[in-house]
Chains A and B, each alone.
Chain A
Amino acid sequence: MYVSDDISEKRDELEGMKDLELSEGRWVEVCRLSRITPGTGAAALIDGEQIAVVRARNSENVFALSNFDPFSKAFVIARGIVGDREGTPKIASPIFKQSFDLRTGECLDDPSVRLPVYPTRITDGRIEVLVPSRGHGS
């Protein structure tokens, strides 16, 4: 199993150097941007990992976070409603409606819970997600 803490601590750093290949991770192409309706999410399966890829309503911003809803223990985050709470972009789980910050994965209704998030970029109209490479950890 990977240890995703590494990647999270590097998040801020990563934002600034999205197009750099990092030795701990690799960019994986998911689908065309147009495949995801603005303001909705879709699930992607990358290396057995379920990731919710979420597209903002009004921009080309794309977010990626775990598709696992820790409250219902089902993989459903991508099927939630996208929106904002006081400017924070978020998605609400379709099961019990807890909201998660799309940028940090933090649960806005229970700050003790936080989902892993993954950097994204758009290359030639395609969405790519930076996933940590396996290997260290388990």
Chain B
Amino acid sequence: MTERKELLVVGNGMVGHHFLNEAAARGLTSEYRIRAFGEEPRPAYDRVNLSKLFDGKTESDIALGSREHYEKLGVELELDETVVSMDVKAQTVTTQRGRTFAYDALVLATGSRPFVPDVPGKELPGCFVYRTIDDLDQIRAHAASCKTGIVIGGGLLGLEAAGALVSLGLKAHVVEFMPRLMPLQVDDVGGAVLKTRIESMGVELHLGKKTVEVMKSGERVCGLRFADGEELEADIVVFSAGIRARDELARHSGLAVGDRGGIAVDMQCRASAPNVFAIGECAALAGKTYGLVAPGYRMAEVAVRTLAGESADCGSFDLSTKLKLLGVDVGSFGDAFGAAPGSKTISLYDGVARTYKKLVLSEDQKHLLGGILVGDASSYSELLTYVQNQLDVGEHPEALIAPAGGGSGKPALGIDRLPDTAIICSCNNVDKGAIACAIREQKLTKLAMVKSCTKAGTTCGSCATLVGDILKSELKRAGVAVTNHICEHFPHSRQELYHLVRVRKIQSFDQLIAEHGKGEGCEICKPAVASILASTWNDYILKAEHEGLQDTNDRFLANIQKDGTYSVVPRVAAGEITPDQLIALGTIAKRHGLYTKITGGQRIDMFGARLEQLPAVWRELIDAGFESGHAYGKALRTVKSCVGSTWCRYGVQDSVGLALRIENRYKGLRSPHKLKGAVSGCARECAEAQGKDFGVIATEKGYNLYLCGNGGMKPQHALLFASDIDEETVIRYLDRFLMFYVRTADRLQRTAAWLNNLEGGLDYVKSVVIDDSLGICAELEAEMDHVVDTYQCEWKTTVESPERLTRFQPFVNSNEPDPNVVFVRERGQIRPALWEEKQGLVEAGQVHLPVLQPALSA
């Protein structure tokens, strides 16, 4: 293996964190050994939501990274380790502990520091800034002995800090040097409305005041003195007078910096020395620094892509913001001040409701360029969408901000009108198409799921309504808008049908649809009901009354392949197989001319069997001691195992033995979707148990049980459910867990998706399965015992029934094999002939193709 190059990331704040995520997602970790340095004692957290720590949220609620997370990404993290110097010639950095690291690439993500104006007394005990968790802890500790607080600075952060003081029970003052609040985001009228709103909340505002001194009494702060000679008493002062990029490292090592600070970078975030990048608040792009998270995230992505050798460009940033300041909604978006030449303004000031809304329109009044909202920002994301997508605002743009019920024919911005390329979440740069696609493909039904899958709405939250609208619209399109009905034939969810079947003792689809549904059924409800009937009563699934319910796989007990032939997978429990069984498989496959391949589930799949060959193949398999592997069913598939303590020098338990016991216990169990399990003999986890619906990992003292993982399209790790439990407890918990899942999951919902949708999540499952909080454990165990006791090998039953075997005839009126099934040889085995390869048969008249007709348009 070649040595990986060294990539160092200085700063583990929001943007540094985003960089690490993106770098891992793009596979930079295979080219680089990535190491990140953070000055703060904790991994990255969501600074945007810092103030939530004063409204009951905890540190872990706002955490972004964790040691485990970075470990998973394959990134090393050094916390509480400030980088103090860098040498761009030697390509090294040195930390405060005197350690020196060489780099092949260096990313600076050092953020900003709060700007504290140089007034006498600014260092006194009782003076704080508002940027980190530590700052907040100190403010909280000091505030305990205080009555009055002053925030210096009436910008976005200052008002947030004032809110924090109020929530700590202090009387709060805000002192602003400019004559109005939020001078960067809001105009005069907006500022005035904001002022009256904020004052009505008990925060006193002092505008146009220049602080000249922090006064002290003893060694403590006691107030401020202003340039006009006035004084204001307080026992705590928070500076929030703006931020300054942390570019000191860069300055000292001779990197270029912007005129107003910040490490100068180009459109690819490259600083002026080779292999050095700067991203986030510390970077000055075209001389400008950005104090918002969205531009920082973009820079992180651009830097990652540049490092990966792709072309990427920062482009221009959207500096729109929406905040709730002390309970007052404020939004500022696009060209809020009407800077574009010829732009026109419409504004609406409502003195009663104390709201102010302003729209800036293009010269031709067709497009919205920007605007300001104070007091009611509910239309923020909608308006921002007009701006970002240059949508036509129609004849009456004023209607966009008219009070509800004004009757002025507001041009409703149906989410459906937006193009797929419309950016919905600017923080995370997610467009409508991506959100809609995730909803459709991953069958998401809740806002929380959409957020976690797409990241949209997870940063500032302002786009959440739009994301919700997309969800509603997609669900409606999929026909599941307000219902969780399984399909048009039953006004019930799968869970309700399960309940009906069990409680009303319903034995057949005909009975269920007659009593609780309508119509004939379809390919959605029929297999779902078949599965419910099978999980509940465990009948032979090919009883005549169930036959028409099954997908072809279940109907013919084999997996259909693209050419209409089937594959056969006998059970090889735990992957343990004797030489004689291997020989038998080989002999049978050879005799019937089948293609063989090892599956991902530690068994052997035999492909290319025509319908009429299946019974003969199975008769021979059964004679050789094999059983159905249920690879065709939504049922337990395999319980994979490593070789365990019997052979492996690391193993601490007999993983094969336990896997055998588990697989043999649950084989044949029908479930809402396929189920896979695994058992590893020690923590090295060779059986990949954490990627399965249920996984068991042996420990010195017993077993750890993991639940609800899966591989496939959207892999998810299983979660630790119980530690160091004994074998009997493993089985007991599995009985209960599996039956609980079978009872409550939706159709085709694997355990991971089921868990993600389950209110209360893993803790809830624990309470049900371990603590029996619903009082159903005895029932669940009895149901599982019934399934275990009534197990039959479906193939054995089938080959013993002459009546059933008629089903495997190729044609009801002929035993001639399907002439369309043709194989060619490749790598010593058969494969289905391509369509082109079969043309000759058609020409020779051996295969008759129907003449397909265009549908009549009438």
Contact = CB atoms under 8 A, between A and B. Distances in A.
Contacts of B510: 57-58
A38 B546 CA distance: 10
Contact of B520 (A5, A43, A58): A58
A84 B522 contact: yes
**Which of the listed residues A3, A75, A84, A99 has the most CB atoms from chain B within 10 Å of its own CB?**
A75
B811 A81 contact: no
10 contacts: A31-B813, A39-B547, A43-B812, A57-B520, A72-B562, A79-B556, A81-B523, A92-B523, A114-B854, A116-B852
A37 B548 contact: yes
A1 interface: yes
A27 to B, nearest CB: 14
B368 to A, nearest CB: 40
B287 to A, nearest CB: 56
Contacts of A81: 522-523, 526-527, 548-551
Interface string B20-34: 000000000000000
Given A1-B851, A43-B810, A113-B852, A83 B551 contact: no
B135 interface: no
B362 to A, nearest CB: 43
Contacts of A1: 848, 851
A76 to B, nearest CB: 4
Contacts of B552: 76, 79-80, 94
Interface in B80-113: none
Contacts of B523: 80-81, 83, 92, 97, 99
A82 B520 contact: yes
A67 B370 CA distance: 60
Interface residues of A, number: 62
A106 B812 contact: no
Interface string A54-98: 001110000000101010111110011111111101101011010
A80 B550 CA distance: 9
B811 to A, nearest CB: 4
Given A30-B812, A45-B813, A73-B835, A4 B851 contact: yes
Nearest 6 CB-CB pairs, A to B?
A39-B548, A74-B564, A83-B522, A94-B552, A66-B850, A84-B520
B850 A57 contact: no
Interface stretch (B389-397, B726-734, B760-768, B814-822): B814-822
Contacts of B563: 72, 74
Contacts of B551: 81, 94
A99 B814 CA distance: 26
Interface of B: 488-489, 510, 519-523, 525-527, 544, 547-553, 555-556, 560, 562-564, 806, 810-814, 816, 818-820, 835, 845, 848-855
A50 interface: yes
A15 interface: no
Given A76-B552, A92-B523, A49 B547 contact: no
Contacts of A104: 855
A133 interface: no
Contacts of B820: 50, 74-75
A68 B849 contact: yes
Given A72-B562, A112-B854, A46 B548 contact: no
B164 to A, nearest CB: 56
B852 A79 contact: no
Given A57-B548, A87-B519, A76 B564 contact: yes
B855 A111 contact: yes
Contacts of A31: 812-813
Contacts of A95: 560, 562, 564
A57 B547 contact: no
Nearest to B810: A43
Nearest to B544: A37
Given A30-B812, A35-B806, A75-B818, A116 B520 contact: no
Given A3-B851, A114-B853, A86 B564 contact: no
Nearest to B811: A45
Given A30-B812, A79-B564, A81-B522, 8 more contacts: A43-B810, A50-B848, A74-B820, A81-B527, A81-B551, A94-B551, A107-B855, A112-B855
A122 interface: no
Interface of A: 1-5, 8, 29-31, 35-40, 42-50, 53, 56-58, 66, 68, 70, 72-76, 79-87, 89-90, 92, 94-95, 97, 99, 104-107, 111-116
Contact of A42 (B527, B812, B850, B853): B812
A89 B630 CA distance: 30
Contacts of A107: 855
B546 to A, nearest CB: 10
A49 B521 contact: no
A70 B812 contact: no
A28 B460 CA distance: 71
Contacts of B851: 1-5, 116
A48 B806 CA distance: 21
A6 B550 CA distance: 36
Given A57-B521, A83-B520, A114-B855, A44 B813 contact: yes
B850 A116 contact: yes
A74 B562 contact: yes
A83 B519 contact: yes
A45 B820 CA distance: 12
A74 B855 CA distance: 21
A71 to B, nearest CB: 10
B775 to A, nearest CB: 38
A37 B553 CA distance: 17
A36 B812 contact: yes
**Which of the listed residues B521, B544, B562, B850 has the most CB atoms from chain A within 10 Å of its own CB?**
B850
B566 to A, nearest CB: 10
A50 B818 contact: yes
B682 to A, nearest CB: 43
Nearest to A41: B548
A113 B848 CA distance: 18
B488 A86 contact: yes
Contacts of B854: 112, 114
A43 to B, nearest CB: 5
A82 to B, nearest CB: 6
Contacts of A79: 552, 555-556, 560, 564
Contact of A43 (B519, B544, B811): B811
A50 B816 CA distance: 11
A111 B851 CA distance: 16
Contacts of B544: 37
A88 to B, nearest CB: 10
A88 B419 CA distance: 34
A36 B807 CA distance: 9
Given A87-B519, A89-B520, A4 B813 contact: no
B857 to A, nearest CB: 9
A29 B851 CA distance: 23
Given A35-B806, A66-B850, A86-B488, A56 B814 contact: no
Contacts of B556: 79
Nearest to B547: A37
Given A4-B851, A37-B548, A72-B562, A45 B814 contact: yes
A82 B526 CA distance: 9
Contact of A38 (B548, B555, B853): B548
Contacts of A83: 489, 519-523, 525-526
Contacts of A99: 522-523
Contacts of B548: 37-40, 57, 81-82
**Which of the listed residues B547, B814, B835, B852 has the most CB atoms from chain A within 10 Å of its own CB?**
B852
Contact of A48 (B520, B564, B845): B845
B852 A114 contact: yes
Given A36-B812, A37-B547, A82-B548, A49 B855 contact: no
A37 B555 CA distance: 12
Contacts of A85: 488, 522
A83 B820 CA distance: 27
A73 B819 CA distance: 13
